[in-house]
Structure 1
Amino acid sequence: MILEKAHIKEITTEESLANSLKVIKDSFITVARQLSLTEENCPSNPAFTNLENLKKMKDKDIRMFGLFEKGNQIGFVAIEKTDDIFYIERLSVLPGYRHKGYGKLLIDFVFNYVKAQGAKKVSIGIINENSVLKNWYIMYGFNETGLKRYEHLPFTVCFMEKIV
């Protein structure tokens, strides 16, 4: 099985951050295009992020992990801890690897990681209009906890969490 050859490791070097940046941008641009998001109308979308933003996340002690297959990075996830809640950030799988179980590998990794840290729940904010992604998180046990419309964003943010 192809997933058996995949592994997850922490992103710690500037080179691995640069590789992660490419994975994040290439992964998020597909949804950005579907929803007509641009750098002008949604500059905070991960499709338009840069290396400085990733370095700032790292400086805030947000843990970052890459998903690798045959030596190539094909996925990414960042985990931010605040108080007793852990937040999933920028979970992404390159388009050519989607719908093959790699996202499940990443989400299972997050669940195991936060449990080992003593967490009670994990939370995420997603684009509410992205029904495919929202349903994917629901399938993995997430519940919607709220919707919020921000003036600077061209979509509604859906907040979701899962008790771990």
Structure 2
Amino acid sequence: MVVDTEIRKIGEQELSNVVNILRVSFNTVAAEFNLTKENAATNAAFIEIHDLLEMKKKDIDMLGLYLCETQIGFVAVEETKQKTYYMEKLSILPKYRHKGYGKKLMDYVFKYVKRMGGEKVSIGIINQNYILKNWYLEYGFIEKTIKKYPHLCFEVCLMEKKV
């Protein structure tokens, strides 16, 4: 059950905490799929504060999920062309998973995108992460394509959902 939560924009003073949340959250996936900084440098398990500062410069919205004033989750939302928004780096600290917090963040993103006039949300995930893929499918995302990028050691499943 989701109680006493708040979702708010991340301030610059909170970025070091966001780095920690992303590293801890994505480290579980990095361990499962043998990701390293060498074979998946852009994975959030290896994020640095300068990466978040670059996101801020690009006007990518960064949102934190707080439980009783403690940040337990994160998501980034980037406006692209043709009324599509990218949802990136959705993460919940491992000890808070499977309690509805990830869904709460997604629900918020979809309401936010709708308010901004967006028509769909797009994501990219590790194609072989079947548990995560099924979670997104159950939420209503559909698979659009599978891509192999030369700088990554895995295939990426691109998914989207209309707002």
Gaps of 5+ in 1: none
1:98: which partner in 2? 97
- Report the Cα distance in structure 2 between the residues aligned to 1:82 and 1:136, rounded to whole angstroms: 24
Cα distance in 2, alignment partners of residues 155 and 44 from structure 1:
12
Structure 2 equivalent of residue 16 of structure 1: 14
Cα distance between partner residues in 1 of 2:44 and 2:137? 22
What is residue 147 of structure 1 aligned with on the other side? 146
Q: CA RMSD in A?
A: 0.8
Unaligned runs of 5+ in 2: none
* Letter matched to residue 150 of structure 1: Y
Inter-partner Cα distance in structure 2 for 1:43 and 1:4: 35
Q: Give CA deviations for 1:20-47 in whole Å, capped at 9, x if unaligned.
A: 1111111000000000001111111110
Instruction: Name 2:36's counterpart in structure 1.
Output: 38
Distance in 2, matches of 1:41 and 1:147, equals 19
**1:66 paired residue number:** 64
The runs of at least 4 consecutive aligned structure 1 residues that moved more than 6 Å come to none
Taking the aligned partners of 1:115 and 1:152, their CA distance within structure 2 comes to 33
Deviation string, structure 1 residues 62-87 (Cα, Å, up to 9, x no partner):
00000001111000000000121100
Q: Name the aligned partner's letter for residue 44 of structure 2.
A: P
Partner of 1:76: 74
Task: Find the counterpart in structure 1 of residue 111 from structure 2.
Answer: 112
In structure 1, the partner of 2:122 is 123
Amino acid paired to 1:36: N
Secondary structure of the structure 2 residue equivalent to 1:7: strand
